[in-house]
Amino acid sequence: MNSADAPEQPSLTLEVEIERLLPGGVGLAHAQGLTLFVSLAAPGDIVRVQIDRVRGKVAFASTLEVIKPSPVRVEPPCPYFGRCGGCDFQQLNYETQLQAKVEIIRDCFHRIANIAELPEIAIHPSPKQWQYRARANWQFEPQTRHLGYFEAGSHRVCDVEVCAVLVPDLQNTLEDLRAQIRNDSFPGAAKNVEVVAGDEEVSLAPGWAGFETKNVSRRIGDETYHFSADAFFQVNHELIVSLVHEATRNARGTAAMDLYCGVGLFTVPLARCFERVVGVESNPTAARFAQLNLQNAQLESTKIITARVGEWLNGQSLESEAVDFLLLDPPRAGAENSVIKGILARHPRQISYVSCDPATLARDLKKLRAAGYFLDSVAAFDMFPQTHHVETVVRLRSEI
């Protein structure tokens, strides 16, 4: 952009009206020739904002004062809101949070995947809007002895005594660790602590004396899954049964593949419907749990491969791996090019794409659609209330 096009000196503070919420959870506003992305805003708010950064005609701003609150604005109950980087939707009533997430998905699918006509997107609300988070990642800062979450946009740690979205068992663990910090028994080397709650116990990694990394288990529908804090497990247990149902319903054929399979959350139900199932997972601990979970379910014929998905897909002969149904649930970055290439080479009739990032999902859908796949359905799951994050399941089919 020509620097002459950019506004020379935007005021440091501006009064703006928030038009709507965008992917990333920020509010959209326009003023002084700038497009503003305003954090922690509600659609319809009139706010005084402070410009934090300008890039061309785009400005990133934070709210200094709510001059006229939107009718959908609520008082955030958490005392750390605004400082802690964990929740960015507490200022919205729950109905607005849900609508905003559907809009975020639509926006990404239109803008990034060029999908003009979308099927209806139903969003499954979380049965619990608070105390739902059964997995967390806490930061410890040895200099300040703070334990909690990174502050928004920084690596300073917001010291958190009570986290309103944690399940009670994890809140108790947070209090136990804070007691260890007070009596100097907390290991200073543990700067990043993963915690996950099972049905009976909590697992924590890295472990230390008195807080070893335990194996825990959880009953989900008719299945039991074993896992630990070293392996991924879904955050919001209340929604897992419906997530698994949506991702695997009407799955047909003889052979299925579960890419990025973790501890086998989808592999176990797929193994009950298909003659042959292969799960692929790069974390050896998660892969071992997947094997154990299949063994306990007496589904030993299912193969779990410990490998990176792209490398494995492209290193296999295609003849031996005919596949009718393919499920993928990659991390936030989505599927690498090599993964999309490997999927297309196998040409599964049905694809089920489970994603925690609508933007990378849309990027990958664009490639799958260009190769002849049609969108059958899109369903959203509010796995992360009080944040802008959303889980999406897209079912695709090939008619070629």
The catalytic site residues sit at: 356
Question: Closest Cα partner for 10 from 41, 54, 42, 46?
Answer: 54
Q: Pairing mode, if any, of strands 27-31 and 46-55?
A: unpaired
234 scored as a contact of ligand SAM (CB under 6 A): yes
State yes or no: residue 262 binds ligand SAM (CB under 6 A): yes
Residue number, 159 or 258, with CB nearest to ligand SAM: 258
In the three-class reduction of DSSP (H, G, I as helix; E, B as strand; rest coil), residue 45 is classed as coil
Q: Examine residue 286 and tell whether it contacts ligand SAM (CB under 6 A).
A: yes
Q: Please, which residues have CB within 8 angstroms of residue 209's CB and are 6 or more apart in sequence?
A: none
Helix, strand, or coil here: 183? Answer: coil
Member of 45, 169, 329, 357 binding ligand SAM (CB under 6 A): 329
Q: Does 27 bind ligand SAM (CB under 6 A)?
A: no
Confirm or reject binding of residue 265 to ligand SAM (CB under 6 A): yes
How many residues contact ligand SAM, by CB under 6 A? 19
Angle, helices 337-346/358-370, rounded to nearest 10 degrees = 40
Complex with ligand SAM: residue 43 or 330, whichever CB lies closer: 330
For ligand SAM, which residue of 260, 274, 381, 384 counts as binding (CB under 6 A)?
260
Determine the interface stretch with ligand SAM among 49-57, 79-87, 214-222, 229-237 (rule: CB under 6 A): 229-237
- In whole angstroms, what is the distance from residue 278 CA to residue 267 CA? 8
Q: Does 266 bind ligand SAM (CB under 6 A)?
A: yes
Q: In whole angstroms, what is the distance from residue 387 CA to residue 243 CA?
A: 19
What's the length of the chain?
Answer: 400
Residue 186 in the binding site for ligand SAM (CB under 6 A): no
DSSP 238: G
Q: Does 353 bind ligand SAM (CB under 6 A)?
A: no
Q: Is 232 among the residues that bind ligand SAM (CB under 6 A)?
A: yes
Residues linked to residue 303 through DSSP beta bridges, in sequence order: 278
Residues binding ligand SAM (CB under 6 A):
232-234, 260-263, 265-266, 280-283, 286, 308-309, 329-331
